[in-house]
Structure 1
Amino acid sequence: MAALRRNDSRVIIHFDYDCFYASVLEAENPTLKSLPLAVQQKQIVVTCNYEARRRGLRKLQLIKEAKQICPEVVIILGEDLTKFRDVSKSLYGFLKGFTWSQKAERLGFDEVFLDVTDMIDYNLSLLNHHDLANSFFCLDRQDPTVGFQFDATSYCGPTYPQSTEISLLGTVTTDDHNLAQRLILGSHLAYYMRSRLENERGYTATVGISTSKLLSKLVGNVHKPNNQTTLIPPYSPKASVDEISNVDRFIDDHEIGKIPGIGFKSAQKIRSYILHREATFEPYTERDEKDQVKVRDVRLSQSMGPPKLLDILGGPGAARDIGVRTWGLLHGVDNSEVLEARSVPTQISIEDSYQGLQHFEDVKKQLQLLATSLIKRMRTDLIDEEDRDNAREDDGPRWIAHPRTLRLSTRRRSPKNADGSRDYSFTNNRISRSGPVPKYMFSLAESAEAVAEKLVDDCLVSMFRKLHPDKAFGELSLINVAVTNMVETAGDDKQSSGRDIGKMFKQQGSLASAAVETNQRDDEMHQGTASGNLPDAAVGTQVEDTAWEESDEEDVPSTQLCDVCGSHIPLFAFRAHALYHAAPDV
């Protein structure tokens, strides 16, 4: 068995806003709080409030079925994500404001990870162990009066497993006692933040407290909604007794597909191995009890370990460490860092899914809608708000970053089987085209709709034609338009890469490496296409994986194609050329 080393020196808090879409609508119209409310996208209930759930509604239910179950349900269309995105950014900024390290990572619209280790360490050093019941948690190192009182002898809120004060601090090892004391502080900080979030912003959240992103996310689900749970020690089994740790006990009861980091395809392969047959359910569907496989079933399976998991999950396109990594996840090992807050997104991506687009005019209409949303998002996320408010009229607002690459991705709908059914499109591959971002995308003289129309006519139609040269391109189930390869512009902020020369060169190097890697993948793609085969990395790509990007030109052996400007550059000069694109505008 490979050594599993979990970093239990951290304290990580995971926030999951309760019924987020519905909560945003209720904040706009408080009368909705007492009514069964469902948010609709396409013909699906994407979320509903707890009043609706009490009456039998659930997420991912057909609208038609929801109306039959609860005729009085209030249904609000949630196709336009602008208001949800804006609230999400606001709440993220609110929670990030409590941290010292700025390690605040947003996952989707409704989840935030906070690494508060430095805050816990500092307050742990301030504890008066002769009077723990009357402790004070300091929120500002520069002002010792800013904070709140708490009882450091016991956890705040529920725990897993449910414990008493005596079992928490009386019969554990020294290491477990230290970890328990740190998690006690984390639980009180989480409660304080939850209370401030509800009282000042009007939103409730379900919260988990542990030592990793994986464990804090999972343990928060134990008590929902508007509650919190701390996963308590012991985190490691005792050598003297035949017992498993609380981590293993907690993880063991989860269905294999519920473990973050184990995708649907991997979970299906593991289920098939354990069940000795194919599992029949599909993603996001109600799972048949007979097809469920718990983590304990896998962990205790004969000869199970990293080598066996590599045999099960390995193959073309799989990571070489997939066996070790998955085995670690099954034991609650996740040492991934909570990323520091970014003022600039890595990319801006807009997409929509369809029952089947097969006519070019329909595609063009959707490109116009997606491009308009993309331009609006760029103006919201990439323009300095303070500069926009304070700038003179002749100056105009300042862009805090310029994306260099425009990308169009599509996905075909699965063909019909002989019986008229279709395979689930989750496993279908996306195909993509990339090109340089035209300068007029940064112009504010025209409306977003006008800029989008020009973008469609000048760029996106051409990129689509190259992706689908045949007029009968089949049925499309998804279109995505994105801008990537962000380069921050010069600014007064100390974090700005335009000001920090060391950071600028570091960014240039990483972007250059990414550009070289992208073009190497492009060459492989062309070689595979010419021979009628796709390279391993292009086979079986899942939705959560990076979309495959094709080159727009034919392969030229002595040159590399620049993904930014579309030029063929001699191999010996390509790195310098990539650095040229990576340099911020000054």
Structure 2
Amino acid sequence: MDTCKKVPERRDGRDYDCFYASVFEAENPALKSLPLAVQQKQIIVTCNYEARKRGLHKLQLIREARTMCPEVVIVLGEDLTRFRDASKALYNFLKDFSWNERVEKLGFDEVWMDVTDIIDYNLNLLNGNDLLNSFFHLSKDDPTLGFGFDGSKYFGHTYPALAERTQPQDSAEDVLSIRLRLGSHLAQHIRHQLEERKGYTATVGISTSKLLSKLVGNVNKPKAQTTLVPPYISSEGLESSVTTFIDSHDVGKIPGIGFKAAHRIRKHVLRRDPDFDAGLIYGGTKEKVAVRDVRLSTSMGAEALEEVLAGPGSPYGLGCRVWCLINGLDDSEVGQVRSVPKQISIEDSYIRLDTMDEVLKELRMLANNLIKRMRLDLLGTDEDGGESSLINESEADQADGRISNRKRWLAHPKTLRLTTRPRPPLNPDGTRTRTFSRISRSAPLPGFVSNLQESVDALAAKLVTEALVPLFKKLHPEKSGWNLSLVNVAVTNMADTASDKKSATGRDIARMFNRQEDVLKEWRIEDRDMSSGTGGSCSSNGVELVNRGVYADAPVGFEDGMEPQHSMAADEEWTDEENGVEQTST
């Protein structure tokens, strides 16, 4: 547990404000001043703040929203393409600010950035005698690249709110304060650049872990930022701001504690099942159990949580992990920048899905969308510089669904997973017990899915017949009687293909040979007339190996009976390891 208490890192949690609505507003800025809601099926999945001022909210039925706010503009958000593309563009924009490439995306609209190295660098350059006129350096190589700021203050909101301090104190907590202040000004700069150059606003949380930065970022919304200020550890009767902050949250709102785990914890603390709110479309509980209630419960602790959360598939140590989260401790690192996702999944929910014909129809649709998504997220092109870039939406969605030969897979998923959420049967009184349990089966992903010369429709039909239907029958061996509210199809367990990247599983031999001409372009073989006695030959068969600019000095010709001389020692070897080509000059 001691490892959870280290606090040297600075982490920013960024959340784009009402992201789906913001994407439409970026496409049409006139929508920013209107109440806007994004519809999927018959509910609102998100709405902008103009709509929220009028009482609209997430997961509200469309008919209720129209009744409450007749002037609301409703746009369809069933097609996620525009949201994925916008999310990728914004992620690429943010990672350009990173030095260590620790930029981790969560869903479409949240990003963590580990800026520890940037803060360390600027802390060493900070002039403690003139904090009012500080300069934040954004580059180690260009000292002019950066911005001025007042280093004596935090930028934006703080939790808890505190009076402005003009001079630092000589204490360990104040060193942390200075670092957090630097982080708050960097966050403000990135937010400003995001809005000015991309047209998106964001809410940011600044703290020392992913857990705390995400939670504190929710305190002031929208278009704002909040820093969780010290003390982070209780001492001399002064309670930790971390404890005070996290204690007020419902246990189900803590990142890393899922719905099932939160339900079990509530049940343990209340000593009974908590009541559900029947009015919520996707369920929820009417009874809140605060983190403080859990932390101070006499029957609660890491070992007790291990027993409470134990069950089929529960990993060992889950209780200790959740106990750390409840106490505000999180030592998980921000992930490295990834060119491909860890998994790709497509799902849909249903009012009723209880016949095999309907299941086959839905599986074909999900498989079709899954393969399209794989081609968009996992295919790239080899560019002149040797880097692979992802293809765009139009290339992935050609009329016949086939891809040109110049594309290659950046990664191959090894596993196919099918997940369903069956509804329980009716109770004797006609009611149905609410459940959110999912069941899954996995199998190796068939290799034919990687065939780029086959159309998406043909591959999807084959995937359903040969893989998804057998998995479905293992999940639901009975021919009827089941009623599904959700089906999810996913590919996981990504294996990077051969490339020059360090994370690759091997070297790309085909690409190496394709680049051979460029590697050897400094050399060419010429036939020479040896009867003229011209120097420069390196053999008596009339063939000369001519070098173009590899050495600092050109080779010196030699006459019969003389040893060759050149600027490199005889028999010296040179190796081009990067391109996998080794040559010897003798």
TM-score by length of 2: 0.78
Q: 1:464 Cα shift?
A: 2.9
Q: Which residue of 2 aligns with 1:497?
A: 505
Counterpart of 1:100 in 2: which secondary structure?
Answer: coil
Q: Which amino acid aligns with 2:446?
A: V
- Quick check: 1:459 aligned with 2:467? yes
Cα separation, partners in 2 of 1:223 and 1:444, compared to 1, 3 Å? same
- Deviations along 1:34-55, one digit per CA (max 9) or x if unpaired, are 2211112222211111111111
Q: Which residue of 2 aligns with 1:519?
A: none
Q: Is the 8 A contact 1:36 1:74 kept in 2?
A: yes
Q: Which residue of 2 aligns with 1:402?
A: 412
Equivalent of 2:244 in 249, 265, 282:
249
Q: Is the 8 A contact 1:4 1:333 kept in 2?
A: no
Q: 1:13 Cα shift?
A: 0.2
Q: 1:394 Cα shift?
A: 7.8
Q: 1:134 Cα shift?
A: 1.4
Q: 1:355 Cα shift?
A: 1.5
- Deviations along 1:377-415, one digit per CA (max 9) or x if unpaired, are 111111114649999x98421211122333333232222
Q: Is the 8 A contact 1:433 1:467 kept in 2?
A: no
- Quick check: 1:296 aligned with 2:292? yes
Q: Which residue of 2 aligns with 1:218?
A: 215
Q: Which residue of 1 aligns with 2:365?
A: 369
Q: Partners of 1:286 and 1:191 in 2: how far apart? A: 35
Q: Which residue of 1 aligns with 2:318?
A: 322
Q: Which residue of 1 aligns with 2:204?
A: 207
- Quick check: 1:384 aligned with 2:384? no
Q: Is the 8 A contact 2:379 2:390 kept in 1?
A: no
Q: More displaced, 202-211 or 324-333?
A: 324-333
Q: Partners of 2:466 and 2:257 in 1: how far apart? A: 41
- Quick check: 1:143 aligned with 2:142? yes
Q: Which residue of 2 aligns with 1:354?
A: 350
Q: Which amino acid aligns with 1:432?
A: R
- Deviations along 1:180-232, one digit per CA (max 9) or x if unpaired, are 01000100111111111111111111100000011000101111001000000
Q: Which residue of 1 aligns with 2:434?
A: 424
Q: Which residue of 2 aligns with 1:196?
A: 193
- Quick check: 1:187 aligned with 2:195? no
Q: Which amino acid aligns with 1:189?
A: L
Q: Is the 8 A contact 1:4 1:328 kept in 2?
A: no
- Deviations along 1:524-543, one digit per CA (max 9) or x if unpaired, are xxxxxxxxxxxxxxxxxxxx
Q: Which residue of 1 aligns with 2:26?
A: 27
Q: Partners of 2:478 and 2:270 in 1: how far apart? A: 43
Cα separation, partners in 2 of 1:30 and 1:446, compared to 1, 3 Å? farther
Q: 1:334 Cα shift?
A: 0.6
Q: Which has the higher contact order (CA 8 A, sep 6+)?
A: 1
Counterpart of 2:204 in 1: which secondary structure?
Answer: strand
Q: Which residue of 2 aligns with 1:526?
A: none
- Deviations along 1:128-154, one digit per CA (max 9) or x if unpaired, are 122121111111112222211111111
Counterpart of 1:130 in 2: which secondary structure?
Answer: coil
Q: Partners of 1:500 and 1:422 in 2: how far apart? A: 56
Q: Partners of 1:443 and 1:308 in 2: how far apart? A: 51
Q: Partners of 1:95 and 1:329 in 2: how far apart? A: 27
Q: Partners of 2:243 and 2:404 in 1: how far apart? A: 62
Counterpart of 2:352 in 1: which secondary structure?
Answer: strand
Equivalent of 1:236 in 233, 237, 251:
233
- Quick check: 1:72 aligned with 2:82? no
Q: Is the 8 A contact 2:3 2:331 kept in 1?
A: no
Q: Is the 8 A contact 2:274 2:285 kept in 1?
A: no
Q: Which residue of 2 aligns with 1:263?
A: 258
Percent identity (aligned)? 56
- Quick check: 1:415 aligned with 2:421? no
Q: Which residue of 2 aligns with 1:12?
A: 11
Q: Partners of 1:131 and 1:34 in 2: how far apart? A: 42
- Deviations along 1:215-258, one digit per CA (max 9) or x if unpaired, are 000101111001000000111112xx322111111111112221
Q: 1:442 Cα shift?
A: 2.5
Counterpart of 1:480 in 2: which secondary structure?
Answer: strand
Q: Partners of 1:432 and 1:469 in 2: how far apart? A: 13
Q: Partners of 1:304 and 1:221 in 2: how far apart? A: 27
Counterpart of 1:398 in 2: which secondary structure?
Answer: strand
TM-score by length of 1: 0.78
Q: Which residue of 1 aligns with 2:444?
A: 435
Q: Which residue of 1 aligns with 2:327?
A: 331
Q: Which residue of 1 aligns with 2:530?
A: none
Q: Partners of 1:311 and 1:31 in 2: how far apart? A: 54
Cα separation, partners in 2 of 1:395 and 1:324, compared to 1, 3 Å? closer
Counterpart of 1:478 in 2: which secondary structure?
Answer: strand
Q: Partners of 1:301 and 1:394 in 2: how far apart? A: 62
Q: Partners of 2:32 and 2:121 in 1: how far apart? A: 40
Q: Is the 8 A contact 2:380 2:390 kept in 1?
A: no
Counterpart of 1:367 in 2: which secondary structure?
Answer: helix
Q: Partners of 2:238 and 2:270 in 1: how far apart? A: 27
For structure 1, the residue ranges without an aligned partner over 5 or more in a row are 502-586
Q: Which amino acid aligns with 1:359?
A: T
Counterpart of 1:444 in 2: which secondary structure?
Answer: coil
Q: 1:478 Cα shift?
A: 1.8
Q: Which amino acid aligns with 1:214?
A: L
Q: 1:78 Cα shift?
A: 1.4
Question: What are the residue-to-residue correspondences of 1:496-535 with 2, within 5 Å?
Answer: 496-499=504-507
Cα separation, partners in 2 of 1:132 and 1:19, compared to 1, 3 Å? same
- Deviations along 1:432-462, one digit per CA (max 9) or x if unpaired, are 14133232x2233344233323333343334
Q: Is the 8 A contact 2:4 2:330 kept in 1?
A: no
Q: Which residue of 2 aligns with 1:178?
A: 175
Q: Which amino acid aligns with 1:367?
A: L
- Deviations along 1:550-574, one digit per CA (max 9) or x if unpaired, are xxxxxxxxxxxxxxxxxxxxxxxxx
- Deviations along 1:445-492, one digit per CA (max 9) or x if unpaired, are 344233323333343334434443432152122222222232222224
Q: Partners of 2:295 and 2:494 in 1: how far apart? A: 42
Counterpart of 2:245 in 1: which secondary structure?
Answer: helix
For structure 2, the residue ranges without an aligned partner over 5 or more in a row are 392-402, 510-586
Q: Which residue of 2 aligns with 1:123?
A: 122
Cα separation, partners in 2 of 1:32 and 1:420, compared to 1, 3 Å? farther
Counterpart of 2:221 in 1: which secondary structure?
Answer: coil
Q: Which amino acid aligns with 1:460?
A: L
Cα separation, partners in 2 of 1:406 and 1:423, compared to 1, 3 Å? same
Q: Is the 8 A contact 1:210 1:216 kept in 2?
A: yes
Q: Partners of 1:352 and 1:192 in 2: how far apart? A: 39
Q: 1:3 Cα shift?
A: 6.1
Q: Is the 8 A contact 1:197 1:203 kept in 2?
A: yes
Q: Partners of 2:367 and 2:195 in 1: how far apart? A: 36
Equivalent of 2:483 in 471, 475, 479:
475
